[in-house]
């Protein structure tokens, strides 16, 4: 992948982050991280109204992967992705 789409830079400068996107990114990442630390499989099933089983196991695993993946980005990076992915 060598070709860069034009939306990501303006006048050779990195995009600025909107305040609302930064707040959303921080709140979402913090909430998912906190929930991951405090919830177990059965409470997760109750929260999402899932019957324990294979589907619920998969969903819980995906949730744990989401929580782990969010720790790999800072709020600024997440906010940039939110802004870039927002349809204008």
In whole angstroms, what is the distance from residue 67 CA to residue 38 CA?
A: 12
pLDDT tens sequence across 36-87: 999 999 999 999 999 999 999 999 999 999 999 999 999 999 999 999 888 6
Q: What is the mean pLDDT of residues 26-43?
A: 97
Say what the pLDDT of residue 23 is: 95
Reading the block at residue 83, the tokens are: 């802004």
Q: What does the pLDDT read at residue 80?
A: 93
pLDDT at 14: 61
pLDDT, position 66? 98
6-15 contact pairs (CB < 8 A, 24+)? 7/84, 8/84, 14/80, 15/80, 15/83, 15/84
Amino acid 17: pLDDT: 87
């Amino acid at each position: 992948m060598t070709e860069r789409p034009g939306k990501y830079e303006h006048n050779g400068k990195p995009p600025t982050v909107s305040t609302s996107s930064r707040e959303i990114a921080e709140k979402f990442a913090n909430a998912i991280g906190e929930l991951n630390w405090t919830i177990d499989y059965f409470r997760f099933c109750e929260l999402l109204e899932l019957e324990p089983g294979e589907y619920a196991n998969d969903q819980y695993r995906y949730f744990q992967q989401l929580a782990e993946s969010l720790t790999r980005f800072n709020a600024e990076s997440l906010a940039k992705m939110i802004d870039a992915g927002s349809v204008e």
